[in-house]
Amino acid sequence: MFAGKTTHLMRCVDEERARGRTVFVIKSELDVERHGEAAREALIAHDGTRRRFGGRVRATRALSAAALGADAATCDAADVVAVDEAQFMGDLVAFARRCAEELGQTVYVCGLDGDYRREKFGGVLDLIPLCDTVTRLRGTCAECGGESLFSRRVEASEEVVRVGGRNEYAPVCRACYVAADARERGSASAR
């Protein structure tokens, strides 16, 4: 988290639109929970940057035609499909394959590959064998200022999917993740 994934996706979408290509953006319904109703019509990054795309944004929990509803035809007709927060999307691999291989669309997928426990998150990693290119972004470790590789949950919770920003998660490097994990295990065993 906090590596600039949504901001990077915004730049890709802006570049495609500048080339005259039509773009359809799909994002997680969970963004509406985090950012409010404005998230139904725009991509919103953690830093507050917003990009509106008219009627070409759909907030959903799955990528099937049924989940896209009336927007499915608009999505199919676009030159480019951009998916934000892909780790929350059901049917990700089948959807991306259909868009790229059957419909001939350019597909951008943005999302976390691992959760705060450093375990596979959603279907993002399953896309790698199908990808033309993979860009792995890194942020800045909240503890030491180094390059962050992982997300660490700030507040204790067993929920895997918990919507939040810096109040819930922190970007950390490997050393800081391991040190925090050891501290948490030590305090848990002391109770």
**What pLDDT digit, counting tens, does each position of 161-187 carry?**
656 566 788 999 999 999 998 988 776
The pLDDT value given to residue 130: 95
Quick count: other Cβ atoms within 10 Å of Cβ 167?
Answer: 8
Alpha carbon distances (Å) from 136 to 76, 109, 111:
27, 11, 10
Q: What is the radius of gyration, based on Cα positions, of the chain?
A: 17
Of the residues 85, 101, 143, 155, only one is catalytic, namely 85
CA distance 40 to 56: 10
User: 188 vs 65, which has greater pLDDT?
Assistant: 65
The pLDDT value given to residue 109: 97
**pLDDT of 1 higher than 90:** no
**pLDDT of 80 higher than 70:** yes
Domain locations in the chain? 5-136, 140-190
CA distance 149 to 177: 9
Is 158 a catalytic site residue?
A: no
Q: Count H helices and E strands in the chain, helices first.
A: 6, 10
CA distance 101 to 36: 34
The pLDDT value given to residue 55: 57
The pLDDT value given to residue 158: 65
Quick count: other Cβ atoms within 10 Å of Cβ 75?
Answer: 20
**pLDDT of 99 higher than 90:** yes
What's the rounded mean pLDDT across residues 23-38? 81
**pLDDT of 67 higher than 90:** no
The pLDDT value given to residue 101: 97
CA distance 21 to 15: 9
* pLDDT bracket for residue 87 (50, 70, 90): very high
The pLDDT value given to residue 136: 93
What is 5-136's CATH topology?
A: Rossmann fold (3.40.50)
Say if domain 140-190 classifies as CATH 3.30.60.20.
yes
pTM here is 0.86
What's the chain's average pLDDT? Answer: 86
